[in-house]
Structure 1
Amino acid sequence: MQDQYDVQNIWWEKPNVLYAFLIRVDGVPAGFVFVATAPHCSADTDFFVHEFFLMQPFRGVGIAEYAAKEVFRRYPGRWEIFTNPSEKNRVGQHFWRKTVSNYTQGNYKEQHEQTYDGEKLIFRFLNH
C-alpha cells in the first residue's frame, strides 16, 4: 500500500510541472484530473492528460466534459490524450472524441499509435 502512495506523491512534489485537479460537484469530491508537462510528456507536447476520472454517480450529465474543457482553457498549447483503443473502452473513446471535437470545433488529430504503455488511441490538438 505504501508503494501506491509513493507513486502518487510526485503529483504534489512538482508544482508548475505536474498539475492535480479535484473535480467537485456542489462541494462534493466527484473525480480528478492529472495533467503533466515536460519532461513527463512527449517532446512535441506541452500538456498531457495523464489521468482523468469521474465517479459513476456523476457520469453522463456533462460534468466530465465541463471539467476537461476547464482544464484545457487554463493551459494554452499542444495537448495530448491517450485512451485505451479496445472495444471494452468504447465509452471512454466516445467521451474523448466528443469532448475534444466540441472543444476544438473538430480541429484535432486522432490516431492509433504505440506508446511507452502499449497501443493507444491518441487525441492531439492545439488551443493557442
Structure 2
Amino acid sequence: MNIEFRTITQSDSIILNNLFHFYLYELSAYSMEDVSNEGKYEAEDISPYYRDDRLFPYLIMVDNKIAGFILVTSPPYVTDGIDYSVQELFLLPKYRGKGLGRAAALHIFKHHHGHYEISMFRNNPKAVKFWSALLSSLHIDAASDIGIIQISEHKLPTQTLRFVISNESLRLPTRIDCTLPL
C-alpha cells in the first residue's frame, strides 16, 4: 500500500468540500446536528484551509486514490500557548482499520513540532480511543481536560488532549507500518 500526504490547494477545493460533507454526516452522530431544509449538513467556510499558510490541510492518498483528509491549524487559529491542533481527521470507511489514521498523525507530528491540542466529543469512543492509544504507543504524556461545547440547543461533553511533539520526545519510525489497527 503506497501512502501519500498531498497538501490541499485551491485546485483541490471541490475535493475537500465534497469529502467534508461525508465527514459532517459521520460527525452528526456525536454533534447532534441536523441537516438543513435542503437535506445537507451546513459546512463552515473551509476555504481558509487552502488559502492561509498557517493552516495545514492534507489529502490522504492510498495507491493514488483519495482515502481521506487531515486538517491542522496553528496560531491564530489555536488556543494561546498552543502551536498546532489537529482539527479534523477523516478516512473513508473502506480505508479504516488499516493504520492510515496513525500514519496521518505521524506525518503531522514529523513535520510540525510543538505544543498540540486535540479536542473531540467524549461520546465519540473511536476518536477518544484512537488518540489515547496513539499517544500511549508513542510514549507521549498528554494532559486531558473535560469540557462542554454548545452546538445548537445541545450541550455536549468534550475531551481535550494537550501534549508536546519534539525531536527529543518523539522517535518516529523510518517506515510507517500501516498494518497496525489504529
Question: Same fold judged by TM-score > 0.5?
Answer: yes
* Superposition deviation, residue 109 in structure 1: 1.6
* Alpha-carbon distance between aligned partners in 2 of 1:27 and 1:99, rounded to the nearest angstrom: 26
List structure 1 segments (4+ residues) > 6 angstroms apart after TM superposition.
Answer: none
- Alignment map for 1:1-128 (pairs within 5 Å): 4=43, 7-15=45-53, 17-86=54-123, 89-103=124-138, 105-114=139-148, 119-128=157-166
Bigger strand fraction: 1
* Alpha-carbon distance between aligned partners in 1 of 2:108 and 2:143, rounded to the nearest angstrom: 19
* Structure 1: gaps spanning 5 or more residues: none
* Structure 2: gaps spanning 5 or more residues: 1-39, 167-182
- Find the residue that maps to 1:7 and give its secondary structure: coil
User: Which one has a bigger Cα radius of gyration?
Assistant: 2
Bigger helix fraction: 1
* Superposition deviation, residue 106 in structure 1: 3.9
Q: Which letter maps to 1:22?
A: L
* Superposition deviation, residue 30 in structure 1: 0.3
Q: Give the TM-score taking structure 1 as reference length.
A: 0.85
How many pairs does the alignment contain? 122
Q: Which letter maps to 1:41?
A: V
Residue deviations 1:99-120 (CA, integer Å, cap 9, x gap): 12223x0422222124577531
- What's the RMSD between the two structures over aligned residues? 1.9
* Superposition deviation, residue 70 in structure 1: 1.1
* Alpha-carbon distance between aligned partners in 1 of 2:67 and 2:148, rounded to the nearest angstrom: 31
Q: Give the TM-score taking structure 2 as reference length.
A: 0.61
Residue deviations 1:21-64 (CA, integer Å, cap 9, x gap): 01111111101011001110100110011111011111112111
